[in-house]
Structure 1
Amino acid sequence: MLAIAFWLCVACVVYPYLVYPLILAGLVRKRVRLVPHGGGHRPSVSVVLTARNEAASIGRRVREFAALIAESGQPGEIIVVSDGSTDGTANAARAAGVEIVRVLELPDNVGKAAALSAGCNEALHEVLVLADTRQTWAPDALERLLENFADPTVGGVSGHLILESGPGILAGVGLYWRFEKWLRRTESCLHSSIGLTGAICAVRRGLFRPIPRGTLLDDVYWPLLVVMQGYRIVHDERARAFDRLPDRVRDEFRRKVRTLSGNFQLLIRLPSLLIPWRNPIWWQFVSHKLARLLVPWTLLGALGLAAVLEGPLYRALFLIQVVTYLVGLAGVLGFGTRSRAISVASSFLVLNTAAWMAFWVWFSGRASQTWGKVAYEAPGAGFLEDAV
């Protein structure tokens, strides 16, 4: 029984990172649902930006989106939602000198989910374009997003976020992000992506539903509701935005704890996701999101079981696990950070430790609390990243 339990733990680790991607790739080779991009109707747009104490960067983003809307040739507006800002964010948005900008000032800090819902409720045009204040978009990004809505089955679109990764462990995290983008792109070829990139995305206004206050994964919550209304969420790698990872490992760790806590919260707020006949992408959701939440627990199980099982095979597997964790720990402590193998092992250790901690953050009821900010610098602009 211990041996069976050990191999079940191994299977739970291997499935989301190897078996599921291979099955997905095989299915897509037989059945691809492409989105026609040429010609067709290009809708009018409402760009919604939520900001809290972003006076230093909001003007740049407002002017950037005004130029993108003008380049697209479509009617549009920019809605800036100042979420209880105390640094003059609203005034900075108005001072950007853009006629099509409207500013919605919320007197209290209600969080991104509620602020986003308030902004979308004020929108007048056909498609809501959602973005953050810190990134930069490619000149043709907005046009590329809108082209997808020529397909009436498409309800939402995710763009392609390109990260400039840092050295050491963060290089491994960058590799993980490239794997994640491949998964989303492949899932959208089969049916729909599981969530999208909140930094560059769009949705038909009639399909957007208000997001409950305190929701951490707003960029997973509303896309899943779109899918459950019978529409697709697709990934368009032609629509590009640019960002970078934080410089410090602890900041990335805190960001991952926040994100993964949101997955547990999502199950409570949308329990129908677990019902196959209610969720058209139930298999993808379970394989992509839920299976990863089990990995830190099954890693611990595999380590403990390999330690007590007898035989040379289990002793070897126990030794491999111990060496892998020690190598990962060495990378976390700053040793051998130029080695790709060490950076990958370290990032795997950091990400799964964050997944383990995320459960306890959610279980303790802290998942819906206000999240602080960690300051770091992006290429060409300063920005702030939410963190636990």
Structure 2
Amino acid sequence: MLILFYGSIFMIAFAYFGYPLSLLLLSRFRSRPVARRAIAPSVTLIITVFNEEARIRPKLENTLALDYPREKLQVLVASDGSTDATNSIVESYRDRGIELLPVRTRGGKENAQKEAVEQARGDVLVFSDVATMLDPEGLRKMVANFADPAVGCVSSVDRVLDKEGRPGGEGAYVRYEMWLRSLESSVHSLVGLSGSFFAARREVCSDFSADMQSDFRTLLNSMRLGLRGVSDPQVVGYYLDVADQRREFDRKVRTVLRGLTVFFRNLEFLNPRRYGFFSYQYFCHKLLRWLVPLFMATALISNLWLASGSVFYSLLFCVHFGCYLAVGWSWWRRALPVWTPLKIPVYFVVVNAAILLAWWRYLGGRRQVMWTPSQR
């Protein structure tokens, strides 16, 4: 039980801190900078929407403000079976160069993206969510990464803000993820892209899947072609924190469920003889991270067992279990802490609860195709 207890704690720590530390140490001996250069290839910007009449205008105005040659930019809005005024609003922007691709039968985000890819004319395909706002120079800076022939796809840096413009618990967690992506880029390659704003060479999207997570799978397609994915700290996507934490929990479950589907359909990437260092990244960043709820449960159960014969472990279990009770109570009462040092551990437990539920659904045979954008 001591081995289980401390082993579980070690695996949790390694998933979140040991893996980044190994990358940090390796970066001192191995560095793969991106040969960025100002270029202007033809670009198709794909915006996927479903019933976004309340947010589509600001997104289109933000898109039209991008500093990129208009003759080389195709803006394509793929409407996934929208039933509100979304399509008519997009149509009103036709004279300003916005194209509408109405997907009559709702088939999910990736299906709409796949249809848009088939209509795209650009050599570089850029994908963006309606809730994500971009800097005017964002598109130019993103495209500059493709001057490096080894780059197959590029991810933005996410900035999550509350309504007052302050980072919250998710914002702190996202900053951790962005730091980790920066390390991965500097050493070898990303393992996943930001689904809200990413880009890829056209050939990387040649076999775009209609039922698998597009950001994750696009990165894997790049690796198959001998290319890599990078994160550009100069390319930022801004979006507000979610308005309803319960709905955000459901979104996290869907995201992990879709990620598990992609992962287990691409187990070949765990073969280091074929993919080298990326196999280590693939295991640590994805599978090991998704196993953290199992390690948390094992640590709690083994702590309970040890508590029967030790005052120290009894006190430790009281603190251990008490933390979970406090998180559950605050979640049930919807009284989440506003102080970031308290909000981060609450968010950590909630995230891993979502991962655990995603595992339950995946092992039960459920798969996720449909999507409903989070309200922010």
Distance in 2 between the 1:46 and 1:360 partners?
A: 38
In the TM superposition, what whole-angstrom CA distance separates every residue of 1:42-63 from its partner, at most 9, and x where no partner exists? 3121111122222343344334
Which of these residues, 243, 264, 267, is aligned with residue 268 of structure 1? 264
For residues 211 and 44 of structure 1, the distance between their equivalents in structure 2, rounded to whole angstroms, comes to: 19
Structure 1 length-normalised TM: 0.88
Tell me if the contact between 2:50 and 2:373 (Cα under 8 Å) persists in the aligned partners.
Answer: no
Which residue of 2 is the match for residue 380 of structure 1? none
Shift of residue 234 of structure 1? 0.7
Q: Residue 159 of structure 2 corresponds to which residue in structure 1?
A: 162
Closer/same/farther in 2, CA of residues 371 and 125 from structure 1, 3 Å limit: closer
- Equivalenced residues, count: 370
Task: Please say if 1:6 is aligned against 2:5.
Answer: yes
Give 1:166 deviation, angstroms. Answer: 7.0
Runs of 4+ in 1 over 4 A off after TM superposition: none
The aligned counterpart of 1:244 is 240
Greater alpha carbon shift after TM alignment, 266-275 vs 27-36: 266-275
CA deviations 1:275-321 (Å, max 9, x no partner) are: 22344511111111111111111111111111112345533442332
Aligned positions of 1:133-282 closer than 5 A: 133-165=130-162, 171-215=168-212, 217-280=213-276, 281-282=278-279
Partner-residue secondary structure (3-state), 2:272: coil
Alignment of 1:91-170 (within 5 A): 91-165=88-162
- Displacement of 1:16 in angstroms is 0.7
Counterpart contact for 1:209–1:222, Cα < 8 Å? no
* Identity %, equivalent residues: 30
Counterpart residue number, 1:385 = none
Unaligned 5+ runs, structure 2: none
Amino acid at match of 1:299: M
The match for 1:53 among 51, 56, 61 is 51
**Preserved contact between residue 58 and residue 89 of structure 1 (Cα < 8 Å):** yes
Structure 1 gap ranges (5+) = 378-388
Q: Which residue of 2 aligns with 1:29?
A: 28
One-letter identity of the residue aligned with 1:64: N
Residue 386 of structure 1 corresponds to none
Give the distance between the partners of 1:263 and 1:242, measured in 2 at CA.
23
369 and 287 in structure 1: CA distance in 2 versus 1, 3 angstrom threshold: same
Deviations for 1:55-75, whole angstroms, at most 9, x for unmatched residues?
Answer: 34334433432332x545661
**Residues 356 and 341 of structure 1: CA distance in aligned 2, closer, same or farther (over 3 Å):** same
CA gap of 1:13–1:140, structure 2 versus 1, over 3 A, is: same
* CA deviation map 1:322-354 (0-9, x unaligned): 233234335433567244343122112111111
Three-state SS of the structure 1 residue aligned to 2:370 is coil
- Does the Cα contact within 8 Å between 2:78 and 2:103 map onto a contact in 1? yes
Distance 1:336 1:118, change over 3 A: closer
User: Superposition RMSD on alpha carbons, in Å?
Assistant: 2.3
Verify: 1:350 aligned to 2:346, yes or no. Answer: no
C-alpha contact (below 8 Å) 1:330/1:336 kept by paired residues? no
Q: Deviation string for 1:186-224 (max 9, x for gaps)?
A: 101111111111222111112214343332x22111111
CA–CA separation in structure 1 for the residues paired with 2:95 and 2:362: 42
Q: For residues 160 and 166 of structure 1, what CA distance do their matches in structure 2 show?
A: 19
Distance 2:123 2:208 in 1: 19
Provide closer, same or farther for how the CA distance between residues 369 and 206 of structure 1 changes in structure 2, counting only shifts above 3 A.
closer
Evaluate the alpha carbon distance shift between residue 61 and residue 343 of structure 1 in structure 2; reply closer, same or farther with a 3 A threshold. closer
Deviation of the 1:253 alpha carbon: 1.3
* TM-score scaled by length of structure 2: 0.90
* Aligned with residue 83 of structure 2, among 81, 86, 98: 86
Cα 1:344–1:62 change in 2 (3 A) is: closer
Q: Distance in 1 between matches of 2:37 and 2:260?
A: 39
Report the Cα offset of residue 122 of structure 1: 1.3
Structure 2 counterpart SS, 1:365: coil
The change in CA–CA distance for 1:112 and 1:320 in structure 2 (over 3 A counts) is: same
C-alpha distance in structure 1 between counterparts of 2:369 and 2:36, whole Å: 41
Mapped partners of 2:93, 2:270: distance in 1 = 45
State the match for 1:315 in structure 2: 314
SS of match in other structure, 2:155: strand
Preserved CA contact (<8 Å) 2:156 2:198:
yes
Distance in 2 separating the partners of 1:53 and 1:73:
27
